[in-house]
């Protein structure tokens, strides 16, 4: 959430930064509502002060011998009742204005970083670097798409998943399930060895948690909600891990906190029908290992670069070719101020596809979730900065393995780093 005080004091600058995203967000509406609320607050404060004065005056008159039922005291009490009536009218108006302001702010995205490239959409994202050209398949024309390979091997079954649930689900069988499990364990082992604390959070999250992380209200249509409870299926581990420290004041000496978490993720993928209808790229349920950081503001840029490197290390360990893309302002996620996507090579489509998105959210999520830190011996608190990144999306990693490690005879070699986990060299 953007800081209302910053908007009010630097309206032109904040509006200019927000306009880089497109979308037509109008912050003047917010400042106008806030001015009305502040005017009412000022009037209410004056009336409250007068009410207190009247109460004291009534007591003083009675102590000086005035008749409690006499005209002098009665006049004061009548004025007091009138003041209370006016206060009774102003208080709900002020609450309503505050609610309107909060609702608008909850729907406004984060400001892009000054270093985020400008652009209208994904076509203007900037390629930063590539890795692994030596691991590109020699002849992609003979390779089948991953779903055909998996179905032929009997390790992916989409047809039976429709019977169990609906389309865009998959059942993993035999070595397919083993490969998924090996990938999860490998990723968690890699991240915990590099200082991340592993977390298994609840997979159901409440409305407050989704709001704090930036998923609500904007992405309600993308999430699955439980019918009889204030609970939703988590769309990503980013949501529960953000809320590990909601409404807390952390010790500055304990920062940074680095977490990694494996969870199943659930998304409606509303509006994406017709795209990636085959295979593992765009499912309603998928597994993912997430990295998450709570850091001091002055270290967040360096922590962001380190986060990207940690995601890259997984792909490098698996020897999967990829590229790093810096997202432009028009393709930036709602909560992020700067994002790097990792895109893995998929030979069947002859293109790179997103497998990790590593974002710096600044204090945007922390302000929504009220997560602050305090320096020892100093007054006041500051909001932490939060960062998140996939490390990695498991299904997309499996798709990349089935295609990049595919042999001309249709067999698939197990990546070397996974062979110990699976106790085999071939699927």
pLDDT, tens digit, 9 for 90 and up, residues 244-254: 999 999 999 99
pLDDT at 204: 97
Residues 268 and 409 in one domain: yes
Distance CA 93, CA 335 (A): 30
> Structure tokens of 176?
């397919």
Asked if residue 316 belongs to a domain, the reply is yes
Residues 139 and 84 in one domain: no
Active site (annotated) includes residue 323: no
Residues 6+ apart with CB under 8 A from 50: 83
Catalytic residue among 161, 300, 356, 357: 357
pLDDT at 377: 87
Side-chain half-sphere exposure of 335, counting CA atoms within 13 A: 31
- Residue at a domain's end among 58, 81, 106: 106
Over the stretch 168-184, which tens digit does the pLDDT of each residue have?
999 999 999 999 999 99
* Bridge partners of residue 295, in order along the sequence: 385
Residues 271 and 376 in one domain: yes
Q: What DSSP state is assigned to residue 406?
A: B
Distance CA 172, CA 158 (A): 9
pTM here?
Answer: 0.91
The CATH code of the domain that includes 245 is 3.30.930.10
How many angstroms from the chain centroid is the CA of residue 102? 18
Q: Are 329 and 116 in contact (CB under 8 A)?
A: yes
Ranges under pLDDT 70 in the chain: 270-275
Active site (annotated) includes residue 282: yes
Asked if residue 113 belongs to a domain, the reply is no
Residues 250 and 202 in one domain: yes
Residues 174 and 128 in one domain: yes
The CATH code of the domain that includes 82 is 1.10.287.40
Residues 65 and 173 in one domain: no
Distance CA 239, CA 181 (A): 23
Asked if residue 114 belongs to a domain, the reply is no
Asked if residue 42 belongs to a domain, the reply is yes
Catalytic residue among 21, 168, 267, 372: 267
Residues 255 and 281 in one domain: yes
Q: Are 332 and 128 in contact (CB under 8 A)?
A: no
Catalytic residue among 282, 296, 323, 424: 282
Residues 127 and 226 in one domain: yes
End-to-end Cα spacing for the chain = 47
The SS3 assignment for 83 reads helix
Residues 328 and 352 in one domain: yes
Active site (annotated) includes residue 261: no
Residues 221 and 344 in one domain: yes
* Bridge partners of residue 393, in order along the sequence: 288
> Structure tokens of 250?
């952390």
Side-chain half-sphere exposure of 97, counting CA atoms within 13 A: 18
Strand 249-251's sheet: what is its strand order? 249-251, 372-374, 382-383
Range of the domain at 175: 122-422
Asked if residue 115 belongs to a domain, the reply is no
Asked if residue 54 belongs to a domain, the reply is yes
Longest dimension (CA), the chain: 108
Distance CA 300, CA 258 (A): 12
Asked if residue 111 belongs to a domain, the reply is no
Active site (annotated) includes residue 354: yes
Residues 363 and 417 in one domain: yes
Q: Are 251 and 290 in contact (CB under 8 A)?
A: no
pLDDT at 270: 64
For residue 325, give Cα distances in angstroms to 306, 308, 335: 15, 11, 18
Identify the helix (H) or strand (E) that includes residue 106.
helix 71-106
Q: Taking each helix axis as running N to C, give the angle between helix 394-404 and helix 146-153, from 0 to 180 degrees, rounded to the nearest 10.
A: 80
Asked if residue 255 belongs to a domain, the reply is yes
* Bridge partners of residue 250, in order along the sequence: 373
245 by Cβ neighbours in 10 Å (0-12 / 13-18 / 19+) ranks as buried
Residues 322 and 192 in one domain: yes
Catalytic residue among 21, 213, 396, 403: 396
Catalytic residue among 86, 100, 180, 354: 354
Mapping DSSP onto H, E and C, the string for 120-188 reads CCHHHCEEEEEECHHHCCCCHHHCCCHHHHHHHHCCEECHHHHHHCCCCCCEECCHHHHHHHHHHHHHH
Number of domains in the chain: 2
- Residue at a domain's end among 80, 106, 132: 106
How many angstroms from the chain centroid is the CA of residue 21? 17
- Residue at a domain's end among 73, 106, 139: 106
């Amino acid at each position: 959430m953007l800081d209302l005080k910053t908007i009010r004091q630097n309206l032109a600058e904040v509006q200019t930064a927000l306009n880089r995203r497109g979308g037509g967000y109008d912050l003047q509406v917010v400042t106008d509502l806030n001015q009305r609320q502040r005017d009412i607050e000022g009037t209410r404060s004056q009336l409250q002060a007068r009410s207190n004065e009247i109460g004291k005056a009534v007591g003083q008159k009675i102590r000086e011998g005035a008749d409690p039922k006499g005209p002098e005291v009665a006049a004061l009490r009548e004025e007091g009742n009138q003041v209370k009536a006016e206060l009774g009218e102003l208080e709900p108006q002020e609450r309503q204005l505050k609610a309107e302001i909060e609702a608008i702010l909850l729907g406004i995205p984060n400001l892009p970083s000054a270093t985020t490239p400008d652009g209208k959409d994904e076509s203007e994202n900037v390629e930063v670097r590539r890795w692994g050209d030596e691991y590109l398949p020699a002849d992609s024309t003979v390779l089948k798409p991953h779903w055909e390979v998996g179905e032929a091997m009997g390790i992916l079954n989409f047809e039976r998943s429709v019977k169990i649930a609906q389309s865009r689900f998959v059942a993993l069988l035999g070595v397919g399930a083993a490969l998924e499990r090996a990938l999860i364990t490998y990723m968690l082992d890699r991240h915990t060895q590099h200082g991340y604390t592993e977390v298994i959070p609840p997979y159901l999250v409440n409305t407050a948690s989704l709001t704090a992380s930036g998923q609500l209200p904007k992405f309600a249509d993308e999430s699955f909600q439980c019918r009889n409870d204030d609970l939703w299926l988590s769309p990503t581990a980013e949501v529960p891990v953000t809320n590990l420290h909601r409404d807390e004041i952390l010790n500055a000496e304990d920062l940074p906190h680095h977490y990694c978490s494996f969870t199943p993720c659930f998304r409606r993928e509303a509006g994406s029908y017709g795209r990636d209808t085959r295979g593992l790229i765009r499912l309603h349920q998928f597994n993912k290992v997430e990295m998450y950081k709570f850091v001091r503001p002055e270290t967040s840029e360096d922590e962001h670069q380190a986060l990207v490197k940690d995601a890259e290390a997984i792909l490098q360990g698996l020897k999967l070719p990829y590229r790093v893309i810096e997202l432009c302002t028009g393709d930036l996620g709602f909560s992020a101020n700067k994002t790097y996507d990792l895109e893995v090579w998929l030979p069947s489509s002859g293109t790179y596809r997103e497998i990790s998105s590593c974002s710096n959210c600044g204090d945007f999520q922390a302000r929504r979730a009220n997560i602050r830190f305090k320096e020892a011996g100093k007054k006041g608190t500051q909001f932490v900065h939060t960062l998140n990144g996939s490390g990695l999306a498991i299904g997309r990693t499996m798709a990349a393995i089935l295609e990049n490690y595919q042999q001309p005879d249709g067999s698939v070699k197990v990546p070397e780093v996974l062979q110990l986990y699976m106790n085999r060299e071939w699927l």
